[in-house]
C-alpha cells in the first residue's frame, strides 16, 4: 500500500488527512498516483491539480516523475503553507 497524506488546504477541501492506495501499474509515479486520485470524482479532480500542488515522496520534496512503490509515503500540499 502507498500511504497518501494531504496537508493544509488540500486536506481541508478533500476532508481527508490520509488514505491508503494499493500500489498498481497505474500508480508508478507521483503524477500517475495524483491522476488516479483526481479521477475519483469532481471534487478530487478540482483539488488535485498538479500545477497547484507540491508533492513529497518519503518526506522529500519531489518532482511529478518520481517513482512511487509499495510502502512509500506520498504527501500532497499547496505551494504556500503556514502563517
Give the tens place of pLDDT for each residue, 10-39: 999 999 999 999 999 999 999 999 999 999
Give the tens place of pLDDT for each residue, 31-61: 999 999 999 999 999 999 988 899 999 999 9
CATH class assigned to 2-77: alpha beta
What Rg do the C-alpha atoms of the chain give, in angstroms?
11
Q: What share of the chain is helix, strand, coil (3-state, %, to 5)?
A: 30, 30, 40
- What is the reported pTM? 0.92
Amino acid at each position: 500500500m502507498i500511504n497518501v497524506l494531504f496537508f493544509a488546504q488540500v486536506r481541508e477541501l478533500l476532508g481527508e488527512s490520509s488514505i491508503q492506495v494499493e500500489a498498481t501499474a497505474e500508480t508508478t509515479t507521483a503524477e500517475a498516483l495524483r491522476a488516479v486520485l483526481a479521477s475519483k470524482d469532481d471534487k478530487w479532480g478540482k483539488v488535485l491539480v498538479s500545477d497547484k500542488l507540491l508533492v513529497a515522496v518519503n518526506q522529500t520534496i519531489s518532482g511529478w516523475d518520481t517513482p512511487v512503490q509499495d510502502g512509500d509515503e506520498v504527501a500532497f500540499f499547496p505551494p504556500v503553507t503556514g502563517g
